[in-house]
Structure 1
Amino acid sequence: MRRLSNTVIAGVTVVALGTGAWLLGDGAARHAPPQPSAAQAGAGHPDPRSAPALPPSPPDRVRIPSIRVDAPLMGLGLNRSGSLDVPPAADKNLAGWYAAGTTPGETGTAIVAGHVDNADGPAVFYDLGALKKGARIETDRLDGSTAVFSVDSVEVYDAAHFPDEKVYGPSRRPELRVITCGGGYSRSTGYQGNVVVFAHLTATIR
């Protein structure tokens, strides 16, 4: 697998993972996806403890029990403009991972992304903004192992101030970012930013 720096996809998920079109019929205020509270943002020093890193192996499923996510993962590449491709919007229970980057569980920053909604309503990561610190994220891998991550923080960023290096930058331990659309919503342009979950490896199931 050819490895690329995660920074090559910086910013591309800001506009690609949900339009909110289904909100227009019923009113955005009543049906907008949950957004993380200030209490779930990062503060102080991150937990230094981490499980031993795993060798590279592509993932094929992600589970987040506390928000009822159990979804297959597809590999995502880059499109002609150099932006990250996204899962087909029509499949509301499908997420993707950046297949030219770090695989979940190995040393570095792995990227998982999915839609918050599609034209028919909520999609796989609709409730991502409701996730709490300490929540569990599991990624099944093709080598038969499951990488288990613990959530360090859940944050929301406006597209104009998206912290590329913080989200996509390298890590000396196995970390995971889970990303979807979020923030403010405009009827003319859709979601104004992204919800980002920061997590680190805490266990491996074999």
Structure 2
Amino acid sequence: MSHKAKNWLLVLSALAGIWLIRHGADATLLPPQPTAAQAYTGGPELQPGSPVAAPLNPSAPVRIRIPSIRVDAPVNRLGLQADGSLEVPPAGSRNVVGWYQGGTAPGSAGSAIVAGHVDNAQGPSVFYNLGTLQKGGTVEVVRQDGRTAVFSLDAIEVYPNKNFPDKKVYGASPYASLRLITCGGGFSKTTGYQGNVVAYAHLTAVR
């Protein structure tokens, strides 16, 4: 696993699961996980018949909307900490996501990475229901330039931390791609979440 991927996993696991520890990590409280039907059938591929929009010039995201799971959240810009690990969205807020501003901007060519907490000390957070997304669903990213980049979901998968496919998740893309990441894959009171849920999407329209 690359240093970059390790830093993402450390960040996501360090500030999630507090609510579960306090209330008991039973199955009724665990966030939903994607089904096998929502995974890629082979390697990363677009949904059949889905359009591919031309990439946009870079512009920072300011808001993300995922209608099917009622997400409508502001986007924070994340940098790197002194030890090289990624900053995180505010732990006290349950409705904010973070975008690594040193990477691809959503809507531009390449793989844009957006991370959100699955829960915090108060309860479920912005990406708690990420695992319920389905192929063909829509993700909207409002950008600083006034445009809204509309993405179509190609797959939603869950990976154990020890076998996280960093190249697949963070690798280059020939079109404008989006990766949404949160914690998942089971939970341990001693080590926290055992994996990550990743939703893959590509740009299909611009408003």
**Shorter chain as normaliser: what TM range?**
over 0.9
SS at match of 1:10: helix
Relative to the length of structure 1, the TM-score reads 0.92
Task: Give the one of 29, 32, 40 matched to 2:30.
Answer: 32
**Structure 2 CA distance, aligned partners of 1:35 and 1:11?**
22
Q: Which amino acid aligns with 1:108?
A: G
Number of equivalenced pairs:
199
Identity across matched positions, percent: 58
| Residues in 1 aligned to 2:205 and 2:3: alpha-carbon distance in whole angstroms | 29
CA distance in 2, matches of 1:196, 1:43: 15
Aligned partner of 2:60 in structure 1 is 58
Question: 1:8: Cα distance to partner?
Answer: 5.9
Residues 73-152 of structure 1: pairs in structure 2 closer than 5 A: 73-152=75-154
Q: Please, what TM-score do these two structures have when normalized by structure 2? A: 0.92
Give the letter for the 1:67 counterpart: I
TM-fit CA distance, 1:120: 1.1
Alignment of 1:12 with 2:7, yes or no, is yes
**Distance in 2, Cα, partners of 1:25 & 1:100:** 35
Q: Is the 8 A contact 2:11 2:85 kept in 1?
A: no
The answer (yes or no) to whether the contact 1:13–1:180 under 8 Å persists in 2 is no
Instruction: Report SS of the residue matched to 2:197.
Output: strand
Gaps of 5+ in 2: none
1:43 Cα deviation (Å)? 1.1
C-alpha RMSD of matched pairs (Å)? 1.4
Residue deviations 1:49-92, cap 9 Å, x none?
41011111001000000000000001011112211111011011
Aligned residue for 1:30, secondary structure, equals coil
